[in-house]
Amino acid sequence: MSGGIMVDIGATLTYFTHDFYIIFRDTFRSEVRNVPLVENPVFPFDTCYTNPDDRMLFFPVVKLYFGSVNMRNKLALAQERVVVKIQDLYCLAFIGWRQDFSILGAHQLQGVGLTFDTSANTLSSDLDECD
């Protein structure tokens, strides 16, 4: 496979191509405000935050567009779909890797209804359809 994104509910997290991931991660970090970034995150994550005051944390919404920037092709991911809590850390639930394609994993797809239309070769998603 060269380029593109594969949906894999057997993969826990989402994996982005390395160059795209670096841009994505840096943008995410710049949007997180007033939450301390951990210097030594838990492997395999490179972006983890701590909550020393045990207060309500808010992380940016991640919008994924499939095909084009169009509201019909958007999957908006918030809070529990964007970060994963490991020990007492909140880690960005996306990973960079050295493959030439990306994988959309199960963590981001929790509660998302997926409809595969094999005749039209399309995939549509409905957020919170499975809740």
Kindly report, residue by residue over 28-87, the tens digit of the pLDDT: 999 999 999 999 999 999 999 999 999 999 999 999 887 666 666 678 899 999 999 998
Burial of 16 (0-12, 13-18, 19+ CB in 10 A): buried
Q: What is the mean pLDDT of residues 113-127?
A: 74
Q: Which of 86, 68, 81 is nearest to 13 (CA)?
A: 81
Task: Tell me if 11 sits within 8 A of 103, measured CB to CB.
Answer: yes
Cα–Cα distance, 120 to 4 (Å, whole number): 18
Peptide bond into 60 cis (omega under 30): no
DSSP state at residue 37: B
- Does domain 5-126 bear CATH number 3.40.309.10? no
Q: Which band of pLDDT confidence, cut at 50, 70 and 90, is reported for residue 128?
A: low
d(CA 85, CA 98): 25
In the chain, where the domains are located: 5-126
Place of tokens 């030594």: 40
What does the mean pLDDT of the chain come to? 88
Bridge partners of 64?
Answer: 75
Q: What is the DSSP letter of 27?
A: H
